A and B are shown apart, each in its own frame.
Chain A
């Protein structure tokens, strides 16, 4: 079945850039998503990219997609303490069933002062 892999932890200094990486296995993925989960809260959609795009930029966020390698990354520029959270990568497949939104294990981002 589909599988989404992420590293579990990342620490960066405030003001530096953060890069969170994700790999997936389903070559028919149509959309790839980044969700953010703050402590004690539900997940919130940060950004998404359609599979025919290589890059999407939204303010401090840059999403890069390498479809050949099935690799997705999220870059956060000028990381702030408020960016500390768990970031989940997710994919949806072309089969069209909305249930096939497969999430990774999440990357805990810690921003150090």
Chain B
């Protein structure tokens, strides 16, 4: 498809396990974002990738969270030693605009993570 693709759409895991969430941005989009959406909360910014620049990791809530983007395309968000408070919908978005112009963000459908 032509949109942002995320997998898995649903993930149930046990506390303490590691999880990986994947995002395939729209082809040609240089900017990629990860947000977290918790019930009743706004979208919490996690991390931002722009081209080959160093990622902006200022939103990652703890060192259990990490993300990488290979070849400027697919991104993986990894959560180590998951905790119950990590339960949320993790949204990925991509954009064709650069750092100086926000432009429109195109969102995937999200990965719903439930930590038991």
Residue numbers of A with Cβ under 8 A of B are 4, 8, 30-31, 35, 40-45, 48, 88, 90, 92, 96-99, 101-106
Contacts and interface: CB of A to CB of B under 8 A. Distances in A.
Interface string B87-111: 0000101010111111111011110
29 contacts: A30-B102, A42-B4, A42-B91, A42-B107, A42-B110, A43-B43, A43-B91, A43-B105, A48-B104, A90-B43, A92-B102, A96-B99, A97-B48, A97-B56, A98-B50, A98-B95, A98-B99, A98-B101, A98-B103, A99-B33, A99-B48, A99-B56, A99-B58, A99-B59, A101-B45, A101-B102, A102-B42, A102-B45, A103-B42
Contact of A99 (B4, B41, B45, B98): B45
Nearest to A41: B109
Which one of A42, A48, A101, A102 has the greatest number of beta carbons of chain B within 10 Å? A42
B31 interface: yes
Interface in B56-84: 56, 58-59
B95 to A, nearest CB: 7
Given A97-B99, A98-B98, A99-B58, A45 B104 contact: yes
Interface of B: 4, 31, 33, 35, 40-43, 45, 48, 50, 56, 58-59, 91, 93, 95, 97-105, 107-110
B10 to A, nearest CB: 11
A43 B33 CA distance: 13
Given A96-B99, A98-B95, A106 B42 contact: yes
A21 B42 CA distance: 15
What does DSSP make chain A's interface, helix, strand, loop or mixed? strand
A42 B108 contact: yes
B42 A4 contact: yes
Nearest to A106: B42
